[in-house]
Amino acid sequence: MNKKWVNWSGNQSATPKRIISPSSEDEIISLVGIGVANRWRIRPVGSSHSFSPICVTDGLLVPLDSFNQILHVDKELLQVTVGAGITLSKLNVELANLGLALPNLGDIDSQTLAGAISTGTHGTGSRYSSISAAVIGLRIVTGDGSIISTSKFQDPEILESARVSLGAFGVVTSITLQCVEAFFLEGVELTTALDAVLERFDDEDTKSDFVEFYWYPHTEIAELKINNRTLNPVSKKGGIVRFLNDEILRNTAFGCLNRYWKYFPKYAPGTFNRVLNVGERNIRIAPSYEIFCSKRRVKFVEMEYAVPREYLLEAFNKVRKITETLNRPLTFPIEVRSLGSDDIPLSPAFGRETGFIAVHVYKDADSSIFFSQVENLMREYNGRPHWGKVHNLSSEDLPNLYPEWDKFLRIRKRLDPDGHFSNNYLEKVLGY
């Protein structure tokens, strides 16, 4: 009997012919041979944190759990080569022990590094870029079973596209990262009126390092998060307070409330208004990754779109209007972030200063109407979807959104001409 695979949130599942975890590149080469011989399509998988069907296959599913170690460190150049299957949470600690850090991170650290870069996972910061932008080298097992090493000195055109590859080029086995010296962040979290946040956001986004906000739907309350580099010492107190805030309130209590709201959703806005303390201000100094990342234990399904930065708040206000038309209130905050432009062909931030709007629903809630309305709105702004999150765009829509789309397809044709690493999702978005 074949083993079933289910992603983190439970909205995607598959029953592959085989799920095999290799422990070496030679084993991956052998698995590619098995897949080709049996005409099984092959999909690498990380921590299964994507909400899109990007990992789904009825063929061969290849977890990279064993590829989780640091392989080489160049302390002078601040460069590190690591196994592609290392989780961001483990990587962050390992880098800190070396006195290093990634320049930017998202707000979740459960993903594997390969999964994060392959889907364009990002944080916030108008002067910064996604995790993929830190990639300066890759090793990939390709469709004919060979291994390609790519860097800015060796096949740089492959590297350009492979930094956000959707897993369509092959199985990434190791990744070389350009790091920075470890740094501290002062994180400020301010719960206040949404209008005050909207009035302040652009200014803060210009002068601060990393800025984002969360709006609690059907209320006038938002949480503004401002993170700045600092040389000040780490906060000595607050461990218990942080545990109560992060684990008890944001996870345990929020999970209980969502289970309750599943049956009584109309009470969600009132609960937010009662429990959120407008005017509350929390400040903490810690190593960068501890400020960037938090644990998300309450499962949800997410859609996120990237729009030109100049239209970010305009698009957000239209999303607010959509929420007012829903028959069932939302129970998850809506997240708004910004990011600098990059030169990665399939990055949602390619060639333009970018704003991101992420909408979430509880794992068991019906997202179809809300997500459809948000997606239709994003089309008005030439919105680009996050590859690891829910969207319905296809190869008919996407080439118009990415100026170097054809370059990506040429590299894919070179590395996997017969589509051994494809699946239904990639056929839909890439065209084959």
pLDDT of residue 1: 53
Q: Give the residue with greater pLDDT, 74 vs 256.
A: 74
Which sequence spans correspond to the domains of the chain? 5-63, 70-181
Does the pLDDT value for residue 244 go beyond 50?
A: no
Beta bridge partners of 156: none
**Predicted local distance difference test score (pLDDT) of residue 107:** 95
SS (H, E, C) 294-352: CCCCCCEEEEEEEEEHHHHHHHHHHHHHHHHCCCCCCCCCEEEEEECCECCCCCCCECC
Which string of DSSP letters, residue by residue, matches 205-258?
HHHSSEEEEEE-TTSSEEEEEEEEEE-SPPPSS-HHHHHIIIIIIIIIIHHHHH
Q: What is the mean pLDDT of residues 99-106?
A: 98
CB neighbours of 259 closer than 8 A, spacing ≥ 6? none
pLDDT tens column, 142-162? 999 999 999 999 999 999 999
How far, in Å, CA of 167 to CA of 267, rounded?
A: 42
Compute the Cα dihedral for 163, 164, 170, 173 and give only its sign: positive
CA distance 137 to 218: 45
- CA-derived radius of gyration, the chain: 21
DSSP, collapsed to helix, strand or coil, labels residue 363 as: coil
- d(CA 426, CA 432) in angstroms, rounded, equals 7
Percent of the chain residues topping a pLDDT of 90: 88
Q: What's the whole-number mean pLDDT along residues 300-325?
A: 98
pLDDT of residue 78: 98
Query: How far is the C-alpha of 232 from the C-alpha of 384, rounded, in Å?
Result: 38
Query: What is the distance between the alpha carbons of residues 24 and 66, in angstroms, rounded to a whole number?
Result: 8
pLDDT of the residue at 25: 97
- Say how far apart CA 325 and CA 315 lie, in whole Å: 16
In three-state form (DSSP H/G/I as H, E/B as E, the rest C), the secondary structure along 336-361 is: EEEECCECCCCCCCECCCEEEEEEEE
Mean pLDDT of 64-72: 98
SS3 96: helix
pLDDT in tens, 336-356: 999 999 999 999 999 999 999
Taking the C-alpha atoms of residue 333 and residue 26, their distance in angstroms, rounded to an integer, is 45
**Residue 255: both structure tokens together:** 């999970």
Strand 171-178, strand 180-181: pairing:
unpaired
Going by pLDDT thresholds of 50, 70 and 90, the confidence category of residue 246 is: low
- Evaluate whether 106 touches 210 at the Cβ level (below 8 Å): no
3-state helix, strand, coil split of the chain in percent (to 5) is 35, 25, 40
How far apart, in whole angstroms, are the C-alpha atoms of residue 280 and residue 259?
26
| Right CATH for 70-181 from 3.40.50.10140, 3.30.465.10, 1.10.10.60, 3.10.450.40 | 3.30.465.10
What's the whole-model pTM score?
A: 0.95
Per CATH, the architecture of 5-63 is what? 2-Layer Sandwich (3.30)
Tens digits of residue pLDDT in 375-411: 999 999 999 999 999 999 999 999 999 999 999 999 9
**pLDDT tens digits, one per residue of 216-242:** 999 999 999 999 999 999 987 555 455
> Tokens at residue 219, please?
């209320």
Percentage of the chain with pLDDT > 70?
A: 97
The whole-angstrom separation of Cα 157 and Cα 193 is 47
What's phi and psi for 371, nearest 5 deg? -60, -40
The reported pLDDT for the residue numbered 248 is 54
The mean predicted confidence, pLDDT, of the chain is: 95
- Mean pLDDT across the stretch 276-298? 94
Q: How many CB atoms lie within 10 A of CB 112?
A: 29
